[in-house]
């Protein structure tokens, strides 16, 4: 075990990088980069993506055997993926599909050998409001709006302008 742990401990003092990633709401996906060039522990190595601001912090968890999403925050269900070969290549980047405004915040990518945890990178994700630009005088413009939740039968849709007028 010590043989495995030692190179790991030597790296712990290095500061994690901080990176800002911006994406528009409605984009197909966004990539949160995390690349590790150090030695990946042979046993019990786990890569964790967490969202600091959430009660359920777990966004994605990868073990040698594969993804372990049992504790994943349900808000990310079916929307996260990592390369299948991540633990061999050190490319721990996370693909987050259908980014939503509420996904904004600080994410951390870290690796653990079961005993020590090392933060590799902090990503500040900013999901921006949909912005539609149009030239004056065109025939029409489409304002996109869709929802993913199961709406109740009596749901109604209302469009308002910034002055709160229907």
Ligand X SMILES: *[C@@H]1O[C@H](CO)[C@@H](O)[C@H](O)[C@H]1NC(C)=O
Residues binding ligand X (CB under 6 A): 1, 3-4, 31, 35, 42-43, 53, 56, 71, 73-74, 83, 91, 93, 95, 105-106, 124
Q: Find the shortest distance in angstroms from Cβ 131 to ligand X.
A: 21
Q: Compute the distance between CA of residue 149 and CA of residue 12 in angstroms, rounded to an integer.
A: 42
Question: Of 55 and 159, which CB lies nearer to ligand X in the complex structure?
Answer: 55
DSSP 9: H
Question: Of 26 and 105, which CB lies nearer to ligand X in the complex structure?
Answer: 105
Question: Of 3 and 131, which CB lies nearer to ligand X in the complex structure?
Answer: 3
In the three-class reduction of DSSP (H, G, I as helix; E, B as strand; rest coil), residue 30 is classed as strand
Question: Of 83 and 128, which CB lies nearer to ligand X in the complex structure?
Answer: 83
Q: Find the shortest distance in angstroms from Cβ 111 to ligand X.
A: 15
Are 31 and 94 spatial neighbours (Cβ–Cβ below 8 Å)? yes
In the three-class reduction of DSSP (H, G, I as helix; E, B as strand; rest coil), residue 72 is classed as coil
Q: Find the shortest distance in angstroms from Cβ 100 to ligand X.
A: 14
DSSP 21: E
**Cβ atoms within 10 Å, residue 30:** 20
Q: Find the shortest distance in angstroms from Cβ 82 to ligand X.
A: 7
Q: Compute the distance between CA of residue 3 and CA of residue 23 in angstroms, rounded to an integer.
A: 42
């Amino acid at each position: 075990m010590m043989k495995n742990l030692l190179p790991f401990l030597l790296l712990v003092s290095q500061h994690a990088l901080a990176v800002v990633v911006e994406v528009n709401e409605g984009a197909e996906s966004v990539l949160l980069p995390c690349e590790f060039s150090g030695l990946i522990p042979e046993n019990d190595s786990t890569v964790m993506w967490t969202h600091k601001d959430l009660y359920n912090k777990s966004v994605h968890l990868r073990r040698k055997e594969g993804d372990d999403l049992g504790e994943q925050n349900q808000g990310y269900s079916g929307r996260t993926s990592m390369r299948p070969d991540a633990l061999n290549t050190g490319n721990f980047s996370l693909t987050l599909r259908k980014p939503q405004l509420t996904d904004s915040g600080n994410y951390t990518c870290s690796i653990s050998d079961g005993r020590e945890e090392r933060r590799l990178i902090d990503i500040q994700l900013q999901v921006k409001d949909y912005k539609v630009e149009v030239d004056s005088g065109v025939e029409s413009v489409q304002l996109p709006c869709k929802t993913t939740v199961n709406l109740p039968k009596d749901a109604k849709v209302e469009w308002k302008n910034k002055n709160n007028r229907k």
